Structure 1
Amino acid sequence: MKKILLLLSLFTAISTSAQQLPMRLTYNRPAQFFEESLPIGNGKMGALVYGGTDDCLLYLNDITLWTGSPVDHNEGAGASKWIPEIRKALFAEDYQRADSLQLHVEGHNSAHYQPLATVHLYDWNEGKVKRYQRTLDIDRAIASDRFDRNGVTFTREYIASNPDRTIAIRLTASEKGALNFRIALGSQLPHEVKASQGGQLTMTGHATGDAKESVHFCTIVRLCETDGTVTADSEGLTLRHGSEATIYFVNATSYNGPRNHPVTAGAPYLENAADDTWHTANTNYEQVRSAHVSDYQQYYNRVKLNLGGELPTVTTDSLLRSQVPQLPPADGKTADGKPLPIPRGNAYLETLYFQYGRYLLISNSRTPGIPANLQGLWTPHLWSPWRSNYTMNINLEENYWPAFTTNLAEMAQPLDAFIQALAENGKHTAHHFYGIDRGWCACHNSDLWAMTNPVGENRESPMWSCWNMGGAWLVNTLWERYLFTRDRNYLRQIALPLMEGAHDFCDAWLIEDPKQSGKRQLITAPSTSPENEFITDQGYMGVTCYGGTADLAIIRELKVNLMEALRTIGAKSSQLSAMQRRLNQLRPYTIGKDGDLNEWYYDWRDKDPKHRHQSHLIGLYPGHHLQDARLQEACRQTLIQKGDETTGWSTGWRINLWARLHDGERAYRIYRKLLTPVRSEEDRNSTLPHAGGTYPNLFDAHPPFQIDGNFGGTAGVAEMLVQSSYEGGKATIELLPALPSAWSNGSVSGLCARGGYVVAMTWQEGRPTMVTVTAKASGKVTLVYGQDQAVLTLKAGETKTVTTWKSKK
């Protein structure tokens, strides 16, 4: 067997602990718009730092501050009687009637996520401002701004500390006695502010709605650690003649879990806020800062990426604008028939965007039972787009795609209790809306209260509201945790019961296809493909169908994963055989006349052929079951037909889909499209497009802002570099499976692989030169690069390095 010795020199080898440039977002002016502000967060509280000189603006958020109260378990009683009528209309091919009947199987819309507070820091000094700079250092999770005025340098540093449960601002002046400012605290919500001596403001209030039915909050602000004079009144705090000062913000709400009323059974928010404030009185800023950086870096520093490049000499928004993609035609070929290479973008920006996604996930997903919402935890809007809720037909799932691959498994833990709450509420939804008394389901939207009902309020389009596969898709994230950790206790106690409940609902929801007499094929009816519309052969544009590919893809993925989970714990072969028979009965994928994967039961046209959703490709990514080469080629044709122009989160998904197809050039092309600069939503003077892409602060543009695109982009980079599988006790790691020519040299450390492995590697001219694998659990793993491979046997905690490969037989 031929051995291939990869180039390795003791004098030129790059350490497999990747050397990464400092990761910073920099600007030379305050933010004018939300999409220019800098986000900080401790997993519960967050702040949007606009900065400023005469008026420095911040918005504060708390991830537990929503409208609404616990769901009514009797909602939808009797709605299931419409399901047979809808099926009757469908199988009579009366899609218009089916669409109209779907309105009877809708419930209330979700609650709204709401902003906590608005903070102004008014500088009372006068004089011309020079050399303003605003920075977000994502290596340390510290935001700052500074400027010169009258020969004095003023600096403000902003942190959101998880250990100390506070947001803190440290203000300094280069000249003694030069700090003169006022803090004004307010809110868009019903509120009251009181001042107390000693430099403290207390704001109490509640979410929009009836005060007897709403989440209440208490925000306390302390101005301390200063050599100046502090005074307080009902409108704010004032400091005079200081050279340094610290401001602490703490907040608590009455939210006490999804089944507890926020008033009658609410958490003691006043006492909790007072306790957190007392804690800040017994520490100092340097201690808080040190604990914050240490806590943050224990997660962030696990992964380092080096794609080359150098520190930019321009601001981040300027760097982004300089990267407007000038890309060759998607179907362009070289003279020898190979795809045209994609011109290299800015390597620093591409690395920064990857790490920014990890920064955002650490900063906004650390509260048990409350995962990141559509905007993470950051919004300045009283009424955020799409209620800033949990959209479970892609967006909530996409939020957690980078969690396991980029070594942030802890950040996905909020999903555990959230899905458990969905399962509790979803049993009632399954019964009332669908007439099913096995298992549980969750639909298109959810919120703080873990609502599971189909939304739409009996008046909105079933195109998006009448979809019940959210729970079935979401539980696969729990299975992913097991694959990356091999924690059998977690599998038995948390993942498996929830997977089984979601599966039981799906299995009961399946019916035999009456159009395939004698074949006993199983389909869903009614069915929709999230937010997409079909055109029948008779010209009707509709949304309700039967046997939609997306439904069956989700159910197929769940069945495959559940069977593997049951094998892992030693389930009886009779149980597995019965499940396999049901799996084999699912209506198979079909390929259309244009070579694409059919999204509908029939080979219908889409109303929008380039639609942002590609739900029928779930089995390719994030799923794993769609491995047939012929079907993968149909997926490729589907992506080609859809093109490259789409919304931000959809762009993030397409990076991963192309990577899973091992097409590095197309994946990189879409990554560059994701980094297309777009204008802020309220900036009417900008010449930048209003489209999917990236805002000046690197937030993802749907548009408007949705954080899932950031997470999809980060996951996509990881997917281009490492792919993995763990099945039947066998682990396989593919190295550089979708590496674009633009990244021909580089290094990465800390990426995780299924089977419980951590990978570091360097590569030159597109080939790995050194690969280091560390095992979290004992086992054997096969490393694959193209036609070469290496097999390692490792004990838990052991590390091995590979520089020599063997060709596959």
Structure 2
Amino acid sequence: MKKYLVVLVFLSILFPDDLCLAQSTNTLWYKQPAQYFEESLVLGNGKVGASVFGGVTTDQIYLNDATLWSGEPVDANMNPEAYKNIPAIREALKNEDYKLADQLQRKIQGKFSESYAPLGTLFLEFDQKGDPQNYRRELNISEAISRVSYELNGVKYTREYFISYPDQMMVIKLTSSKTGALNFGVKFESQLRNKVLIVDNELNVNGYAPMHAEPNYRGNGPKAVVFDENRGTRFSTLVRIKSADGILSATDSVVKLSGGTEALVFVSIATSFNGFDKNPATEGYNAEFLASEQLQKAFPKSFDALKKAHLDDYQKYFGRVSLNLGKTTAPNLPTDERLRRYALGKEDKNLEVLYFQFGRYLLISSSRTPGVPANLQGIWNPHMRPPWSSNYTTNINAEENYWLAENTNLSEFHMPLLGFIKNAATTGKITAKTFYGVNGWTVCHNSDIWAMSNPVGDFGSGDPNWANWNMAGAWLSTHLWEHYQFTRDTKFLKDDAYELMKGAAQFCLEWLIEDQKGELITSPSTSPENKFITPDGYQGSTLYGGTADLAMIRECFMQTIKASEILNEDVKFRNKLELALNKLHPYQIGKKGNLQEWYYDWEDAEPQHRHQSHLFGLFPGNHITPSTTPELADACRKTLEIKGDETTGWSKGWRINLWARLLDGNHAYKMYRELLKYVEPDGVKTDYVRGGGTYPNLFDAHPPFQIDGNFGGAAAIAEMLVQSTEDEIHLLPAIPDAWNSGSVKGICARGGFEVSMVWKNKSVRKLSILAKSNGKTTLYFGSVKKEIDLKKGQVFELNL
């Protein structure tokens, strides 16, 4: 709390008028309970997730666990001779027979990923009648606490919910202003196989996830969801009520409290998941024992002690960054009404800050389980067969989830993805050999908790334009380098990152072949989910020398070379990478002035397609910039102009970052506003095109809900304020006119630096740079260029 007071004093001096405004930068609130999932308020401790509806008569809470998925460890050797088809595909491409190449690509496919499962729903059922008054439902993201309050028949009822990381426990506090007026029951339901028992007034649930769950787009066949009582991940949920004055009782499935004034509900959850390579049924943890152990440790503690431990843990991360975007005159409204007003073009700078901080809140809440990163929906999913299996879609979405980890000062929460990369490289070595006939490792279009790495498509039924993409190893490896760039953790680079980076580069090195000009290309190649049109009118997916492939390979090679130099090892391999890098087929600018996506200057089947993978070098890569490669940067700009701004949620998040890298703050801001466009919940049928935007609870609307837009949008705010390379920091590189004055504290830059600054009239007035490691960099802002060389812990300050 001291940090917050310091920040408030700091901001009150700079912006005395702003702090008098009522609308919040850290609280979502509503005048009614949630009716739909996309209105619920979500909580999480990085493993357990809850979606709270806040109903009056019945409060339903969807529960999830990050480690509860269908399936079991993948057989990576599922198609051992697939690689034997590669020469025939390359021959078809050499003959420019793209239709045959597409047909043959289907032989380079394996199974689909497994699905993220819903654990179940907890119901709080209240013995209350009448119409509530003064209802309020809120989520305070600076505390990671949700609250509900209302008055009924002269009694004020309150609820307070949080999920503690230190105690691995969901805690709900219920109170009534009148002694003995609290009467409620607790029950549990699940779509998974489960048994509910009541033991000494404690609700005990034990169950298991499906052996397999088909992707939701595969139809409702007889084996869409397969349960086997001897296979699959086990889960346990224990619920116990603590009350000083109420009377506990139970039926066969409900625990009740009668005549209470205050009560605590403890919810303990565990699964048998014991790693991507361990059978959860035969080698897994004892879920019931773990859940019981957690409950036994937490139950004796007071609410105040539990809450303090939760706040101390959460706020040390969330409080690292504060943002003020200047004076606002927006009125104080519930969040859903704020979104509707904002969609009309009204000003609400604090809503823009709230969305940024909500992205950081979601990452802290969904990414704290080693080797289990946030999935397509973070950790919040009510569906047995969620959209796109709620898996790790590694041709953009899984990576976009982590674009904000380093620059918004949440480096620790990057670690689940970095650990997952090590798991994926294990199966990925087999994929590289059996599907592509080369060494190293790679991952393809989809993965899951079992670190599946093969190309998907169900052994031939998938369209190659999405099923056969194989460059996720190169893309994922860049996250290892980014973590090093921001932390300067040489031990991590040496012990954890380098061999993985080298393995990804090795795959690419051996996968490349020479084209007719002697330049290195990939063959076969696809560009994620997009199609080309050949001069004879064929719409195809498979080609050679796709720009996206080569962009990712460039970044992978450049980073691996630098890592090798820093560690002073692997000179021979480094030399191979340097030679290959110089021989890569270069970027091409098309007749429209755009950056070509294809080897030839072909037309796109969908000119406004949501993917822009061939712009990887501009963002999230770093080798295309307006200053170092102006012609390529201009071609990227033209590509974005052709694509237009109307696209899905996650794609908007990516495009905002791309416009920021092009130093066009006003265009980035325009798209940020569009990302916050109000979208009705999925259950509300509307007669207009819903498009990408934001649901009432601030979830990203692809639609449906995908969390990557939240993360990409939050990352883009940091990118508009600070951009950096290994030896440069640019301040306010893409600041829009709308943010003429403001301040930020705690944004991170490559090189191991932390930036805090105040700006007015889009110019830096006060600056503080903290070195988190020894290092030097060059600062650029306005016409100022300043070299600094700091020891760890030193601070550079400047007042203008």
Q: Aligned in 2, Cα 1:643/1:76: closer, same or farther, shift over 3 Å? A: same
Q: For 2:190 and 2:151, how far apart are their aligned partners in 1?
A: 30
Q: Is the CA contact (8 Å cut-off) linking 2:330 and 2:347 kept in structure 1?
A: no
Percent identity among equivalent residues? Answer: 49
How many angstroms does 1:12 deviate by? 10
Q: For 1:104, what is the secondary structure of its paired residue?
A: coil
Q: Deviations over 1:337-367 (max 9, x none)?
A: xxxxxxx731011000000000000000000
Q: Is the CA contact (8 Å cut-off) linking 1:82 and 1:101 kept in structure 2?
A: yes
Partner of 2:266: 248
Partner of 2:612: 614
Work out whether 1:478 is the aligned partner of 2:480. yes
Q: For 2:249, what is the secondary structure of its paired residue?
A: strand
Q: Aligned in 2, Cα 1:622/1:235: closer, same or farther, shift over 3 Å? A: same
Q: For 1:13 and 1:593, how far apart are their aligned partners in 2?
A: 54
How many angstroms does 1:125 deviate by? 1.8
Q: Is the CA contact (8 Å cut-off) linking 2:532 and 2:602 kept in structure 1?
A: yes
Q: What amino acid does structure 2 have at the position aligned with 1:289? A: K
Of 419, 422, 430, which aligns to 2:421?
419
Q: Is the CA contact (8 Å cut-off) linking 1:196 and 1:233 kept in structure 2?
A: no
Q: What amino acid does structure 2 have at the position aligned with 1:441? A: T
Work out whether 1:510 is the aligned partner of 2:515. no
How many angstroms does 1:575 deviate by? 4.5
Of 230, 234, 240, which aligns to 1:222?
240
Of 176, 196, 199, which aligns to 2:199?
196
Q: What amino acid does structure 1 have at the position aligned with 2:773? A: A
Of 755, 762, 765, which aligns to 2:761?
765
Partner of 1:324: 343
Q: Is the CA contact (8 Å cut-off) linking 1:226 and 1:246 kept in structure 2?
A: no
Partner of 1:523: 521
Q: What amino acid does structure 2 have at the position aligned with 1:598? A: Q
Partner of 1:683: 684
Q: Aligned in 2, Cα 1:311/1:39: closer, same or farther, shift over 3 Å? A: farther
Work out whether 1:462 is the aligned partner of 2:464. yes
Work out whether 1:695 is the aligned partner of 2:695. yes
Q: Aligned in 2, Cα 1:310/1:413: closer, same or farther, shift over 3 Å? A: farther
How many angstroms does 1:777 deviate by? 1.1
Q: Deviations over 1:259-313 (max 9, x none)?
A: 1111111112121111011112221221111111111000000000001226742
User: For this pair of structures, how many residues does the alignment match?
Assistant: 766
Partner of 1:440: 441
Partner of 1:735: 731
Work out whether 1:630 is the aligned partner of 2:631. yes
Q: For 2:347 and 2:12, how far apart are their aligned partners in 1?
A: 26
Partner of 2:160: 157
Worse-matched range after superposition: 772-781 or 357-366: 772-781
How many angstroms does 1:780 deviate by? 2.0
Q: For 2:106, what is the secondary structure of its paired residue?
A: helix
Q: Aligned in 2, Cα 1:311/1:172: closer, same or farther, shift over 3 Å? A: farther
Q: Aligned in 2, Cα 1:100/1:574: closer, same or farther, shift over 3 Å? A: closer
After superposition, where does 1:451-600 map in structure 2 within 5 Å? 451-457=452-458, 458-513=460-515, 515-516=516-517, 520-571=518-569, 575-600=573-598
Q: For 2:53, what is the secondary structure of its paired residue?
A: strand
Worse-matched range after superposition: 779-788 or 303-312: 303-312
Q: For 1:576, what is the secondary structure of its paired residue?
A: helix
Q: Aligned in 2, Cα 1:12/1:415: closer, same or farther, shift over 3 Å? A: closer
Partner of 2:111: 108
Q: Aligned in 2, Cα 1:225/1:12: closer, same or farther, shift over 3 Å? A: closer
How many angstroms does 1:687 deviate by? 6.4
Q: Is the CA contact (8 Å cut-off) linking 1:724 and 1:754 kept in structure 2?
A: yes
Partner of 1:756: 752
Q: For 2:688 and 2:241, how far apart are their aligned partners in 1?
A: 41
Q: Aligned in 2, Cα 1:447/1:574: closer, same or farther, shift over 3 Å? A: closer
How many angstroms does 1:662 deviate by? 0.5
Q: What amino acid does structure 1 have at the position aligned with 2:336? A: D
CA RMSD of aligned residues (A): 1.7
Worse-matched range after superposition: 105-114 or 776-785: 776-785
Partner of 1:790: 786
After superposition, where does 1:337-486 map in structure 2 within 5 Å? 345-436=347-438, 438-457=439-458, 458-486=460-488
Q: Deviations over 1:760-785 (max 9, x none)?
A: 00000110000000001122221101
Worse-matched range after superposition: 222-231 or 397-406: 222-231
Partner of 1:7: none
Q: For 1:325 and 1:587, how far apart are their aligned partners in 2?
A: 46
Q: For 1:716 and 1:112, how far apart are their aligned partners in 2?
A: 29
Q: For 1:689 and 1:24, how far apart are their aligned partners in 2?
A: 29
Q: Aligned in 2, Cα 1:724/1:325: closer, same or farther, shift over 3 Å? A: farther
Q: Aligned in 2, Cα 1:62/1:11: closer, same or farther, shift over 3 Å? A: closer
Q: What amino acid does structure 2 have at the position aligned with 1:624? A: N
Q: What amino acid does structure 2 have at the position aligned with 1:470? A: A
How many angstroms does 1:741 deviate by? 0.3
Q: For 2:597, what is the secondary structure of its paired residue?
A: coil
How many angstroms does 1:689 deviate by? 4.3
Q: Deviations over 1:495-516 (max 9, x none)?
A: 1110000110111100111x32
Q: Is the CA contact (8 Å cut-off) linking 2:76 and 2:454 kept in structure 1?
A: no
How many angstroms does 1:22 deviate by? 4.7
Q: What amino acid does structure 2 have at the position aligned with 1:427? A: K
Q: Is the CA contact (8 Å cut-off) linking 1:560 and 1:625 kept in structure 2?
A: no
Work out whether 1:259 is the aligned partner of 2:277. yes
Q: Is the CA contact (8 Å cut-off) linking 1:200 and 1:221 kept in structure 2?
A: yes
Q: Is the CA contact (8 Å cut-off) linking 1:232 and 1:238 kept in structure 2?
A: yes
Q: For 1:573 and 1:80, how far apart are their aligned partners in 2?
A: 30
Q: Deviations over 1:93-119 (max 9, x none)?
A: 111111111111110000010111111
Q: For 2:782 and 2:110, how far apart are their aligned partners in 1?
A: 51
Work out whether 1:177 is the aligned partner of 2:180. yes
Worse-matched range after superposition: 316-325 or 37-46: 316-325
Q: For 1:85, what is the secondary structure of its paired residue?
A: helix
Q: Is the CA contact (8 Å cut-off) linking 2:464 and 2:541 kept in structure 1?
A: yes
How many angstroms does 1:798 deviate by? 0.8
Runs of 4+ in 1 over 6 A off after TM superposition: 10-13
Q: For 1:286 and 1:222, how far apart are their aligned partners in 2?
A: 18
Q: TM-score, normalised by structure 1?
A: 0.93
Q: Deviations over 1:222-256 (max 9, x none)?
A: 11134201112221111111011010111111111
How many angstroms does 1:325 deviate by? 5.2
Q: For 2:383 and 2:574, how far apart are their aligned partners in 1?
A: 50
How many angstroms does 1:494 deviate by? 0.7
Of 261, 269, 274, which aligns to 2:292?
274
Q: Is the CA contact (8 Å cut-off) linking 2:763 and 2:782 kept in structure 1?
A: no
Q: Is the CA contact (8 Å cut-off) linking 2:268 and 2:294 kept in structure 1?
A: yes
Q: For 2:303 and 2:230, how far apart are their aligned partners in 1?
A: 38
How many angstroms does 1:173 deviate by? 0.4
Partner of 1:663: 664
Partner of 1:122: 125
Partner of 2:776: 780
How many angstroms does 1:759 deviate by? 0.4
Q: For 2:144 and 2:702, how far apart are their aligned partners in 1?
A: 25
Q: Is the CA contact (8 Å cut-off) linking 2:481 and 2:497 kept in structure 1?
A: yes
Q: Is the CA contact (8 Å cut-off) linking 2:180 and 2:246 kept in structure 1?
A: yes
Q: TM-score, normalised by structure 2?
A: 0.94
Q: Is the CA contact (8 Å cut-off) linking 2:25 and 2:354 kept in structure 1?
A: no
Q: For 2:496, what is the secondary structure of its paired residue?
A: helix
Q: For 1:323, what is the secondary structure of its paired residue?
A: helix
Q: Is the CA contact (8 Å cut-off) linking 1:80 and 1:435 kept in structure 2?
A: yes
Q: Structure 2 regions of 5+ residues with no counterpart?
A: 1-9, 211-226
Q: Deviations over 1:618-662 (max 9, x none)?
A: 000000012311000000000000001000000000000000010
Q: For 2:381, what is the secondary structure of its paired residue?
A: coil
